[in-house]
Amino acid sequence: MKLYLSLGLLSLIFIESCSDTGSSGQVKLYPGDNFQQANDNFPAGTVFVIANGVHQKQRVHNPKSGNVWLGEKGAIMDGLNSITAAFTGKAVNVSIQGVEIRNYVDNGIYFDAGEKVSFKRLRITDTGSGTGELNGAIRLNDVSDITVSHSYFARVSSAILPSYCEGPILIDWNTGINIGRNFVQLGKCRGENIRIEYNTMERKGDYLRPGARDVEDWISIYRSSGTTDNPIQVRYNRARGHGHSKYGSFIMLGDAGGKHQLAYGNVGVTPGQVGIGIAGGEDIKVDSNILYSDEWRDSNIALYSADYSEPEPCNNHIITNNRSLWYNRTGVQNNLWTDQDCNPILDNNTYPDYSLNHSIWESSKAARGN
């Protein structure tokens, strides 16, 4: 049985049950409907279906527990560069799927407390303020149990910024083009089942978010810790191209400390001045990655281990089974370096590997899903 109602600007469709979400009903939102009013008027567990079309200046603060915001094909939330963020506040068991979010001033989504949040099949563009260190497409502070999957980011100040977060965290099968400062910066996060995997990142042309910093580290693990048996895993990602930073990297581990981190099976093609760096921390492993760089102005080195995070502990760095062909700024091969301060183990790395070139981009496991 279906019941059709109209209330003000809200056109409503209720169904008796929705087994995949546990929801008591669905509410369909058309252009001109007020998203905040809908959130406030309907109960926790409602599925809000965002209709095809452009929904201007919409914002949802404190979505209710169990709510799903589901975009139809062609559903767009446009902040018209006058709304701070599309979704804000606290979120518990909230899912946002299948909608395009564009032209929001500070963030596309900013939750500053919550748990069990899921973002799938989003497209977030032309959004974010500042340098990208604090604001971006998806900013999550003090949130646990996070999923960001199969989404697209372009011309943002940064893409995905979880901080003070707790696992599980899954960031997988996303694509970023000209994403500002970072594609992912994991800041002061901890716990089991933290995964950043199968993502594709590229720097193309000159069109960046106005005022945003160009890419620094594509993936930065900052003062974050997994566990002995379940390290933070950065796996099967690929990045191509670089910004103008003299310090940027493809993957930075152990930044300002942290422990129990693994970078495995990633592929980088001229992705920054450094390929993969271990800048400090304990029990950090770099295994079976493939790195290639052309000579360019700030190109430096493929792999390194160093204690740049004093006074935090630095110990047990392992760099093994990697392959690289990396030309530095003077055209000289520069593949692996360590200051020996973190008791590094260097084993079975192949460099220079003259079989490597730009074609490694297509060999990544991340390429098989795109």
**Domain end residue (candidates: 207, 238, 262):** 207
Give yes or no: residues 162 and 259 share one domain: no
Give yes or no: residues 185 and 270 share one domain: no
State the pLDDT confidence band at 18, using cuts at 50, 70 and 90.
very low
Which two three-digit tokens encode residue 313? 């502990």
Q: Using an 8 Å Cβ cutoff, are 287 and 269 in contact?
A: no
Assess if residue 329 is contained within a domain: yes
Give the structural domain span for 81. 50-207
Nearest to 26 by CA among 10, 55, 49, 3: 49
Give yes or no: residues 232 and 157 share one domain: no
Higher pLDDT, 90 or 8: 90
Give yes or no: residues 351 and 256 share one domain: yes
CA atoms within 13 A on the CB side of 349: 23
Number of domains in the chain: 2
**Domain end residue (candidates: 207, 240, 271):** 207
Assess if residue 8 is contained within a domain: no
Give yes or no: residues 159 and 261 share one domain: no
Give yes or no: residues 202 and 62 share one domain: yes
Cβ neighbours around 182 below 10 Å, total: 28
Per cent of the chain over pLDDT 70 is 93
Assess if residue 283 is contained within a domain: yes
Q: Using an 8 Å Cβ cutoff, are 254 and 223 in contact?
A: no
- Is this prediction's pTM over 0.85? yes
**Domain end residue (candidates: 207, 232, 263):** 207
Q: Using an 8 Å Cβ cutoff, are 143 and 109 in contact?
A: no
Q: Which of 15-29, 31-45, 259-273 has the lowest mean pLDDT?
A: 15-29
Give yes or no: residues 180 and 226 share one domain: no
